[in-house]
Structures are given as structure tokens and as C-alpha cells.
């Protein structure tokens, strides 16, 4: 608890929680990073599940780097948002579920890119399973993330 | 404007939206999901036009126009419900107003694409063979949608 208060009282924590524009700016970055990461991940998963079959799965590979870019933005903006409300977020159930959803969504999408998008171009039942799982994980992360404010 | 706000506040739908505690967060979740779908599709489409992932056949890229349209439709519907439910919050808000203008501009951009570029794409033209500023259309689209997301997110922070 001492540590959480110390984080909130840090320069970054105060900038995010108490300055006029700190919070909205970081929050906007977080929304943008989410749109990029989740948006591109959903499209990759939907292609594996059959959307736009005429487009070779492997052709979509370069977009994974774009999704990673969104993740990096959200890792930093998310960490900054955490410093602003560390003592409440740390105990927020929706926040915990969201983090689990993000880790699983990211892991499954990364796995899908590794064995399918960057594979030999074939789509197997396993690939579809991973794609479906990744969509569920992103949905959980998105729902829980949106509910954080309602849980506190 | 005042009359419109008063009218929306007097509707049964307004009362309903505000009386059900679960409804607003549920709509927000759908609005965020639609936003991801829309921007994800726009990224695939526009970055391809800007030279990323050249292996994607441009002639097939319209698939992502469809997913973008689905995302937009979800957000149009949920967005309209937000406005009916809380018109005082949105209609006078400067960030909301600029956001609506940028969405209109993005719509005109799509119309321009459909009129000037789409026929060339469907004929199988690619890259430098496309005339009519395909790269500018793509860059403008990415910029506009990025601004739309940021403006939407800061609506609560620019209230007077």
C-alpha cells in the first residue's frame, strides 16, 4: 500500500492525476493504441476464420508490426494511467480481468502470426481455434477495461 | 439547438436510456468494439494504399471496406443512442462538434474514393498506375479517423 501511494505521489503520477491535460492526453493515446492493437488483431483473426479468403493470409504479415506499435503505445500509456490511480486500480477486479485478457489476447495473436500468418499459407483447424480464442480474449479485455470506471 | 435538446430530453427513449443502469456501459463497450473494427479495417486498407503489405491484392482490399462499414454502423447506432440519452452532454460540446465534422469529411473522402479511385482498383490497377491521389486519400483517412478517436475520448474533459 505504501508503494502504491508512493507511485501516485511520483511526478508522473501527479502529472496524470492532477494536471489539467495529463489525464485526457494519456487516455486518448490509450484509446488509439487499443484501436490499433485490437483492431488489427481482430482483422488478422477474422481473416484466419475466413473473412476475405481471396487475400493470402501471409500477405497480412506486415500488419503485425503495426499491431505491436499499438501495444507499445498502450504499455507506456497504460503504465502512466496506472501511476495516476495506483492505489485504487491495484484492487480493481475489472482491471485484473482486463490485464489477463490482454496477456492472453496478445499471446494468442502472436502465436497465430507465428504459426499461421508467417507459416506456409495453409489455415488449419488449430489456427481457427487460436483465432477464435484470441477474439474472445480481446473481447474480455475490452469489456473489462471499459468497466474499470464502474467498479471503483 | 436548445429546442432539439429539449425535444430529445422529452422522448421516451431518453427516459429509458437513463433509467437502465446497465445500458450505458453496454453501449460504451459496443462503441469501443466498433471503433476497433473500424480503425483496424482502415489501417489495413489505407496502409496498403500507402505501400505497406504489397502482397495484399489491391483488387481484393474491399473486404476491409465491409468490416469498416460494420464497425461504423455499430458506432453510428450506439452513438445516436448516446445523443438521445444525454443530449446536453454531447450537442453543445466542442470536441463532439469537431468530431462530427471530421466524420463528415471522412465520409466525403470515402465518396471521393468510390467515385474516382474504386473503378481503377476494380480494373486491377495498382500503385503508380492509380491516378487521382490514392496516397493522399489514404493518408487523409488515417489522419481523420485518428483525430475522431482522440476527440471522442476527450469529450468529457472539455465540458464547460
Q: Within chain B, which residues score under 70 in pLDDT?
A: none
User: Residue A66: closest CA among chain B residues belongs to which residue?
Assistant: B43
User: How far B11 CA sits from the closest chain A CA (Å)?
Assistant: 26
User: How far A41 CA sits from the closest chain B CA (Å)?
Assistant: 8
Tell me the chain A residues in contact with residue B53 when contact means C-beta distances shorter than 8 Å: 59-63
pLDDT at position A95: 98
Q: Which position has the higher pLDDT, B154 or A151?
A: B154
Sequence-ordered alpha helix ranges (H) in chain B: 2-10, 12-19, 23-49, 63-85, 87-90, 94-112, 118-122, 134-154
What distance separates the 2 farthest-apart alpha carbons in chain B? 56
Query: pLDDT tens for residues A83-130?
Result: 999 999 999 999 999 999 999 999 999 999 999 999 888 999 999 999
Q: Is A50 left (phi over 0), alpha (psi -120 to 50) or beta?
A: left
Q: Is A121 left (phi over 0), alpha (psi -120 to 50) or beta?
A: left
Give me Rg for the CA atoms of chain A. 17
User: How far A57 CA sits from the closest chain B CA (Å)?
Assistant: 9
Domains contained in chain B, number: 1
pLDDT at position B128: 80
* B30 touches A: beta carbon within 8 Å: no
Tell me the chain A residues in contact with residue B39 when contact means C-beta distances shorter than 8 Å: 35-36, 39
Domains contained in chain A, number: 1
pLDDT at position A152: 67
ipTM of the complex: 0.94
Contact A146 B60 (CB under 8 A): no
At CB < 8 Å, which residues of chain A contact B? 23-24, 27-28, 31-32, 34-36, 38-43, 46, 51-52, 54-56, 58-63, 66, 138-139, 142-143, 146-147, 150
Domain of B16, in residue numbers: 2-157
Domain of A15, in residue numbers: 2-151
Instruction: State the DSSP code for A85.
Output: S
Query: pLDDT tens for residues A2-61?
Result: 999 999 999 999 999 988 899 999 999 999 999 999 999 999 999 999 999 999 999 999
Tell me the chain A residues in contact with residue B37 when contact means C-beta distances shorter than 8 Å: 39, 42
Amino acid at each position: 500500500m505504501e508503494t502504491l501511494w508512493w507511485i501516485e505521489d511520483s511526478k508522473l503520477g501527479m502529472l496524470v492525476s492532477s494536471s489539467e491535460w495529463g489525464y485526457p492526453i494519456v487516455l486518448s493515446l490509450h484509446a488509439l493504441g487499443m484501436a490499433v492493437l485490437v483492431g488489427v488483431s481482430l482483422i488478422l483473426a477474422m481473416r484466419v476464420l475466413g473473412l476475405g479468403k481471396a487475400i493470402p493470409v501471409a500477405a497480412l504479415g506486415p500488419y503485425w508490426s503495426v499491431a505491436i506499435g499499438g501495444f507499445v503505445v498502450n504499455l507506456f500509456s497504460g503504465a502512466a494511467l496506472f501511476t495516476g490511480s495506483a492505489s485504487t486500480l491495484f484492487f480493481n477486479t475489472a482491471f485484473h480481468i482486463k490485464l489477463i485478457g490482454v496477456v492472453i489476447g496478445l499471446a494468442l495473436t502472436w502465436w497465430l502470426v507465428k504459426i499461421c500468418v508467417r507459416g506456409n499459407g495453409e489455415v488449419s483447424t488449430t489456427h481457427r481455434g487460436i483465432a477464435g480464442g484470441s477474439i474472445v480474449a480481446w473481447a474480455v479485455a475490452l469489456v473489462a477495461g471499459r468497466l474499470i470506471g464502474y467498479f471503483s | 439547438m436548445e429546442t432539439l435538446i429539449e425535444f430529445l430530453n422529452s422522448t421516451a427513449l431518453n427516459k429509458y436510456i437513463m433509467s437502465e443502469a446497465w445500458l450505458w456501459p453496454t453501449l460504451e463497450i459496443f462503441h469501443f468494439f466498433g471503433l476497433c473494427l473500424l480503425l483496424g479495417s482502415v489501417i489495413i486498407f489505407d496502409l496498403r494504399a500507402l505501400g505497406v503489405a504489397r502482397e495484399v491484392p489491391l483488387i481484393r482490399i474491399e473486404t476491409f471496406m465491409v468490416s469498416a462499414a460494420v464497425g461504423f454502423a455499430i458506432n453510428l447506432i450506439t452513438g445516436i443512442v448516446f445523443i438521445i440519452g444525454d443530449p446536453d452532454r454531447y450537442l453543445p460540446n466542442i470536441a463532439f462538434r469537431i468530431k462530427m465534422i471530421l466524420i463528415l469529411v471522412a465520409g466525403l473522402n470515402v465518396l471521393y474514393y468510390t467515385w474516382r479511385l474504386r473503378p481503377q482498383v476494380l480494373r486491377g490497377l495498382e500503385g503508380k498506375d492509380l491516378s487521382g491521389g490514392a496516397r493522399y486519400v489514404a493518408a487523409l483517412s488515417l489522419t481523420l479517423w485518428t483525430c475522431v478517436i482522440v476527440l471522442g475520448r476527450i469529450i468529457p474533459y472539455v465540458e464547460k
